[in-house]
């Protein structure tokens, strides 16, 4: 276990899935993420890095430059979060631990879970005051699709349910899904739907497991989440999508927030995606900032 600490945050990390094992907001002595401190436990993606391609891939298959790749089917006929032995299930190698950052790396061989390779992946976590910075990177000597995501389960007030949290998302549209939770291939405006979080709104009993199509480009603030006690999360990312999941299978105790590319973009020509070519590096950056009305911020 590797620990980092600032005046505001204390965090622990372990190598299984390059996971955030604990994240504590010190002024309120509050655990912010679902805890999975045992690296040998199966925590069902909790606070790990998921990939090589996050989310669902229809039919567990895709093509690059005319070459077909058949993937591990670990959710019905589809592939979810890189298959049954995706990045979240692997033991990453701990890298250099500095005063305010820790890094992990892992490599997979060609056709691991059916994905093209070989590929190398890196995850770096850094604490700066009241902010957690997450940088994910990947490269391969062959053309490849990458979509890495931090699979974060968040609760800002320690309650057993997240229905009272207020959520705001900078998104005018979302991706409707079919019976397999796959995008239908179309975008829909959030206006006049239960997915309209352009203004802060309570999650209440809304059932969500959908991608929101984020506005803007580059690293920008896209989400505000506020717990019933007033603690607020501001999330910035350079990704084009945000998967939000109310974790209904586990009693709605945490809200999954996953900045990533749009789901199944490898098979939907109208969705934004690009191939990472040899010599290029895929990079994803997200920043979580925690603010409490009861604690003055610098």
Distance of CA 21 to the CA centre of its chain: 15
Catalytic residues: 151, 258
Q: Do the beta carbons of residue 297 and residue 32 sit within 8 Å?
A: no
Question: 122 in helix, strand or coil?
Answer: strand
Cα 219 to Cα 285: distance, rounded to the nearest angstrom: 7
* Burial class of residue 82 (count of CB atoms within 10 Å of its CB; 0-12, 13-18, 19+): buried
Cα 287 to Cα 184: distance, rounded to the nearest angstrom: 30
Cα 52 to Cα 179: distance, rounded to the nearest angstrom: 24
Cα 74 to Cα 141: distance, rounded to the nearest angstrom: 27
């Amino acid at each position: 276990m590797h620990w980092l600490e600032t005046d505001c945050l204390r965090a622990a990390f372990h190598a299984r899935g390059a996971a955030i094992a604990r994240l504590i907001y010190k002024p309120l002595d509050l655990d912010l993420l679902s805890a999975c401190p045992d690296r040998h436990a199966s925590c069902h993606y909790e606070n790990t890095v998921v990939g090589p391609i996050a989310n669902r891939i229809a039919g567990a298959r895709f093509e690059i430059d005319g070459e077909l790749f058949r993937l591990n089917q670990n959710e019905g006929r589809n592939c979810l979060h890189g298959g049954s032995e995706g990045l979240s299930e692997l033991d990453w190698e701990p890298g250099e631990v500095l005063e305010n950052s820790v890094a992990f790396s892992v490599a997979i061989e060609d056709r691991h879970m059916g994905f093209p390779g070989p590929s190398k992946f890196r995850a770096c976590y850094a604490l700066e005051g009241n902010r957690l910075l997450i940088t994910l990177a990947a490269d391969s000597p062959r053309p490849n699709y990458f979509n890495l995501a931090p699979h974060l389960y968040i609760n800002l007030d320690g309650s057993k349910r997240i229905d009272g949290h207020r959520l705001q998302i900078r998104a005018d549209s979302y991706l409707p899904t079919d019976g397999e939770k796959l995008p239908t291939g179309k975008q829909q405006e959030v206006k006049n739907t239960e997915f309209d979080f352009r203004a802060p709104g309570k999650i209440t009993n809304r059932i969500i497991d959908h991608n929101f199509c984020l506005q803007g480009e580059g690293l920008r603030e896209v989400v505000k989440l506020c717990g019933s006690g007033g603690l607020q999360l501001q999330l910035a990312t350079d990704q084009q999508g945000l998967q939000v999941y109310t974790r209904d299978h586990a009693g709605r105790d945490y809200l999954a927030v996953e900045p990533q590319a749009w789901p199944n973009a490898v098979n939907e020509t109208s969705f934004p995606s690009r191939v990472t070519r040899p010599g290029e590096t895929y990079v994803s950056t997200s920043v979580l900032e925690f603010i409490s009305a009861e604690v003055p911020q610098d």
